[in-house]
Chain A
Amino acid sequence: MYYDERENLVNYSVKDEENNYTEYNLTNKNEKKWDNDFKIDINNININNYRHIKRTLFSDREGFNKGNMIIEEYVPYKNYVYKVVVKGERDELLLKIQELTFKVIDLNLYLDIHPNDEEMYKVFKNTVQELKKYKDMYEKNFGPLCVTDTLYYDSYKWLKNPWPWMNEGGVNNV
């Protein structure tokens, strides 16, 4: 006799008495033949735990180019992969800031759902530290990225061009 908590409306003992050949009756779905013949409760399986036990990160640049920091979750479309290439000191520094900002954004979303992943938190913290360093460097040399980045200047620089959409003929990377 078998007892299944999820199907306790079925009275197996009565059935066994009625039919001695249930073991060979393949159409009888309520019958279990072996101990490992159990039903899987699909709604209660956390598929993510099986699929992505390990999460490894792309390098900063590669993750930014692909739009996804986590290797296991990357899904390409028709093998389209692009590399951002820029010229000039200012654009290179800005690209570095964009890369690190992107890494912070992606890890931020991940940590919202997995706040107890200490290893990922360490990566997140180091990235924020590095980003701060580069932003400070940019602010010092090329102007503010936030309106409050004003401590290096004697006059109001926030409104200065170029604004991010002003990219005439692809001169500025912004």
Chain B
Amino acid sequence: MVYAIPYASMTLSCAISLRDAVVRHNLLTIIATSLLIQTAQAETDLPVLTTYGSDSSGISTQSFDADEIRRNYSSLSQFLGSVTGVQVQHSGATGDPVMISVRGASSGQTNILVNGVRVNDAQGGGYDLSSIPLSMIERIELVSAGSNGGDYDSAIGGTLNIVTRREESSRNLRASVGSFGYQGISYRQNAGVISLYAESENIENNFSYPVPAPWDGGELNADESLKNAAFFRHNLQIATNLQNIDSRIYWRNQNKEIPDYFRNSPNNEASYSQRESGASAGNLRSPVKRGLNWRWNTTYAETRETYRDPDSVIGLGNDDNRYYRQKAEAMLSPQWQQDALVLSASASTSFDDYRSRYVNDSDSHACLTPQGQCDQSAEQWLTRLQTGADYQWTTNLSTAFHLYQQLLRSSNWRSGAEDMQKEAQTDRFSGGSTEIRWQAETFTVQLSGRDSIRIPSLYERYGDRGLLLGNDDLSAETARSFSLDGRWQPDTASISGSVFTRHIENAIVPVYDSRGIGRYVNTSEATLTGIEVTLTKDFSLNRLRIEPSFSASRYKSEVRSEIRSFNQQQLAGIYHGRYVTGVSAILGGHRLTLQHEIAGDIYLDRSNSIEGDTRESLDLNYLWQQPFWLASLNISNLTDNRYRDYSNRPATGRSVRAAIEFEF
């Protein structure tokens, strides 16, 4: 995350009128949003739906097989955007940060796990999903309700767990090309007990957009190709599985050029680079046996980031800013399973370290100028204890109950200042979740509730040690949620629905005064209620199989705040209405998929004075699969619809991506 880019360019805009959110049902496509049946075995008696996932474990836990996703979507964000209840907050072009919102929560309120380890950045609170390529992923699990234990429960919005690939059964080579100069290649294979994965992609991102004030003095808001927006990423992972212990080491290097959206200056050379390496080991994926099981996991990651603006185009000076992060976590979890009862507990400790250095700012090390930058260091220790019980009362009825407690110690200091001015805090948080589920042959219903929190990020707690002040009194956001989820699967159809409500307290927002000095404060509470429905059907016409689907989500929210302009407003940055329809046609090895999405009723600001554009997109995917190879064509935003995304930046427009994949 780039925190030090001041006055990040945003195009000048006035809010346009919200168009009516009328769904056009011209074409239908199956999408991978249906909630899957919980079953102890992989095989089911259900007809083979072209769902993008293996069988999952719960009504509110969705599990998706990444290989199936990859053949129908060009990126993780594109797939997640099709999932009911998930909104992708993508601020710009390929390579720009991608966050997700689950059930109307903010991105910071959504936990992102990689192989079961929480990766939300302690300094900023979010995690950029664009840093993980689809080809590196084995499975994606999305939890939006229920009582699952571990890090799945403490998140206000939901939890996304990305499981990376381990064993490879064959060699796989995939190459792809696409719009705006996209090129990608990935390779994976087994070499004895070691599986190897390597991936590289790059894109120019030179899509057309209206430039508010062209650098060359041209007509205002005339279309130009975006300059200085290229992105590349290289990934390498080596994984092993010995004695049911998964180990992996990985390395990632990526660079994203930062465009000047306002003027599209040709002199702009601003860029943001990241190099990350890490290792992990654990047995979280080993089979669970009757009796006592010991599960453990340990991980370490180190990230070095550099932001440069050598020509002072984006910011106020010649920036050369360095950021360094370390993260380590260890977890031990005993689990006892006997017939209908599962008792679990876990203890984990994580450590996050953050340091910044503004190389070209002579005052930053001593922090002499409050309006300027300040080199700082921050640390966070988080200890988490969790216990729970799952009990299967009868064949149909089961319950789960989990409690957690978290102990947080954090500190921040000015790295080179004379007096350092170290600030430290300790906090304790507790919460829990419960669910009751009744399941029949074709029908499942679940009622769940949870107490969850969002711990303030280090940046919110301590500020930038300049004119964005820290706040010793900043409390965690807390939420109480209730969800009623149901699923009915008669014959070859699936109908699922959810009704939920969430009440958030101590919402954290930044507040500034007339001097331009600000801080994050707890100032609001909010209530959000929502309903989500997904319908899928599968039928055949001779050899042709047709799979239509429809999903809808509708939210209602209200904020109550002592800040007058925030009071009685709708939560910002969330589409409150979203409808996705699709259809797939499968004939032999050919599959054609069309998907239409329309989303609206969004405000970009907390005061609700800026309405966001309605987002509408028609996507097409064609897949031709043969025993040892497959070819795919993906066209997103087929009609080249122009709109501004949730960050008020121009959406990319129509893009095409073609790929070919070999298994040998």
- Please determine whether chains A and B interact with each other in the same assembly: no
The interface of chain A, by Cβ under 8 A from chain B, is none
Could you list which residues of chain B lie within 8 angstroms of chain A, going by C-beta atoms? none
